């Protein structure tokens, strides 16, 4: 159903940049709004997206009305962040996500929210949308809180959708190298080595960014109106992989690539960007496997088509085509926490990660 007017809130992030290109290529009338924290962090040039003034916190009734769908991508994408409190960081994120939803409800605009499979936290068996959540980080708690707020806001006039995304990977104009597949593929191409933050024993579900974009496209075209929040896991059942097995796969695809562990590297300065602060003594306690059948059964026309092997092969080929080198791989702007910390340290962000405007 091309021609629909879509607003991407957070259009200059990792997912937003690729989704914008994807929707424009499919004929949607797509607009964006963003704080610009990562605007200049380009791996390659994106399409030119019409942009609204302001950002997620400043959107008004006049900004929202007239759109058919809002995709609320804006948020803090990881944690912990320096010495700032989780409440100071995530409180505003929760507030503007719900305020935008209220405006959508007021004007009959459909609302899509990217939640996360990380809300499952630790699970001994395969979990689905009916399983209890077990968030282990402030980021995941924030996703659960926003889901709860949306569920409370839903009624016969407002039917939001929350897509719990598996760990996303794949090429984007504004790449993230702080997500596991992108990081390991980037290391392999630029350094001929794969370095694991942990012992690699944790399970994670993964999903190719192309399949995520297709899920959002199908939801944009779907006139879901059941009067309640719909929560769907987005990924593939066969994309639940242990991190160590994933690392070995990527190592095997790149000739001369070595596998090592961060804990054995004596605190090398070059490893600071790739260090995961949630891993303690080489152990990542977050481990979960997720079932994804409901989304394929529910969303009209949707199928996730990229498995881990094919997605990794495509991503490695893209990094090779772009001649990804070590200097590019280590650019701070491709690592979300470190970029935000730098902006905070030089006084461009306040304690709630809001841009400090010059008088």
256 domain-assigned? no
288 band by pLDDT with thresholds 50, 70 and 90: very high
**CATH code, domain with 211:** 3.40.50.720
Q: How much is the pTM?
A: 0.93
pLDDT at 234 over 90: yes
Looking at residue 41, its pLDDT comes to: 94
Looking at residue 285, its pLDDT comes to: 75
Looking at residue 1, its pLDDT comes to: 56
259 band by pLDDT with thresholds 50, 70 and 90: very high
pLDDT at 79 over 90: no
3-state secondary structure of 167: strand
Q: Are 175 and 14 within 8 A, CB to CB?
A: yes
The tokens describing 60, both together, are: 């008004």
Looking at residue 197, its pLDDT comes to: 83
112 domain-assigned? yes
The tokens describing 33, both together, are: 């709004």
Which residue range forms the structural domain that includes residue 100? 5-176+206-239+287-306+336-345
Among 3-12, 73-82, 101-110, which is the least confidently predicted range? 73-82
pLDDT at 216 over 80: yes
pLDDT at 87 over 90: no
pLDDT at 274 over 70: no
If you average pLDDT over every residue of the chain, what do you get? Answer: 91
3-state secondary structure of 164: strand
Which residues lie across from 165 on neighbouring strands?
A: 116, 234
Among 113-127, 256-270, 336-350, which is the least confidently predicted range? 256-270
353 domain-assigned? no
118 domain-assigned? yes
315 domain-assigned? no
248 domain-assigned? no
115 band by pLDDT with thresholds 50, 70 and 90: very high
pLDDT at 98 over 70: yes
- Domain count for the chain: 1
Looking at residue 320, its pLDDT comes to: 97
275 band by pLDDT with thresholds 50, 70 and 90: low
Question: Torsion angle, CA of 313/311/315/176, rounded to 10 degrees?
Answer: -150
Looking at residue 86, its pLDDT comes to: 83
Looking at residue 282, its pLDDT comes to: 52
Average pLDDT over residues 104-125: 95
Note the residue count of the chain: 359
Q: Which residues of 74-108 are buried (b: 16+ CB within 10 A; e: fewer)?
A: bbbbbbebeebebeebbebbbebbbebbebbbeee
292 domain-assigned? yes
The secondary structure of the chain, three-state, reads CCCCEEEEECCCCHHHHHHHHHHHHCCCEEEEECCCCCCCCCCCCCCCCCECCCCHHHCCHHHHCCCCEEEECCCCCCCCCCCCCHHHHHHHHHHHHHHHHHHHHHHCCEEEEEEEHHHHCEEEEEECCCCCCCCCCHHHHHHHHHHHHHHHHCECCECCEEEEECEEECCCCCCCCCCHHHHHHHHHHHHCEEEECCCCCCEEEEEEHHHHHHHHHHHHHCCCCCCCCEEEEECCHHHEEEHHHHHHHHHHHCCCCEEEEHHHCCCCHHHHHHCCCCCECCECCCEEEECCHHHHHHCCCCCCCCCHHHHHHHHHHHHHHCCCCHHHHCCHHHCHHHHHHHHHHCCCECCCCCECCCC
318 domain-assigned? no
Range 83-86 contact pairs with CB under 8 angstroms and sequence separation of 24 or more: 84/344, 84/351, 84/353, 86/138, 86/141
265 band by pLDDT with thresholds 50, 70 and 90: low
Summarize pLDDT for 149-187 with one digit per residue, the tens.
Answer: 999 999 999 999 999 999 999 999 999 999 999 999 999
């Amino acid at each position: 159903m091309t021609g629909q007017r879509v607003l991407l809130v957070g259009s200059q992030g990792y997912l937003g940049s690729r989704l914008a290109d994807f929707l424009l290529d499919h004929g949607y009338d797509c607009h964006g709004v963003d704080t610009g924290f990562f605007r200049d962090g380009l791996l390659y040039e994106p399409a030119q997206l019409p942009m609204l003034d302001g950002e997620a916190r400043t959107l008004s009734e006049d900004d929202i009305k007239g759109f058919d769908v809002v995709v609320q991508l804006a948020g803090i994408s990881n944690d912990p962040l320096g010495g700032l409190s989780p409440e100071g960081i995530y409180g505003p994120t929760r507030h503007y996500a719900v305020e935008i939803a209220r405006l959508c409800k007021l004007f009959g605009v459909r609302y899509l929210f990217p939640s996360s499979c990380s809300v499952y936290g630790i699970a001994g068996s395969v979990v689905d949308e009916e399983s209890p959540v077990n968030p282990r980080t402030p980021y995941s708690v924030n996703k659960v809180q926003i889901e709860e707020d949306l569920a409370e806001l839903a009624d016969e006039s407002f039917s939001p959708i929350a897509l719990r995304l598996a760990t996303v990977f794949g090429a984007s104009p504004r790449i993230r190298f702080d997500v596991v597949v992108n990081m390991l593929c980037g290391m392999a191409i630029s350094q001929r080595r794969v370095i694991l933050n942990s012992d690699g024993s944790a399970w994670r579900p993964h999903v190719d960014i192309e399949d995520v974009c297709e899920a959002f496209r199908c939801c944009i075209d779907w006139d879901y109106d059941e009067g309640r929040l719909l929560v769907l896991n987005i990924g593939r059942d066969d994309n639940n992989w242990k991190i160590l097995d994933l690392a070995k796969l990527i190592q095997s695809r790149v000739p001369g690539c070595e596998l090592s562990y961060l804990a054995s590297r004596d605190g090398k300065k070059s490893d600071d960007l790739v260090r995961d602060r949630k891993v303690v003594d080489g152990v990542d306690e977050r481990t979960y496997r997720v079932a994804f059948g409901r989304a394929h059964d529910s969303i009209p026309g949707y199928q996730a088509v990229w498995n881990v092997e094919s997605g990794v092969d495509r991503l490695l080929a893209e990094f090779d085509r772009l001649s990804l080198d070590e200097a590019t791989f280590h650019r701070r702007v491709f690592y979300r926490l470190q970029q935000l910390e730098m902006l905070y340290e030089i006084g461009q962000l306040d304690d709630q990660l809001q841009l400090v405007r010059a008088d």
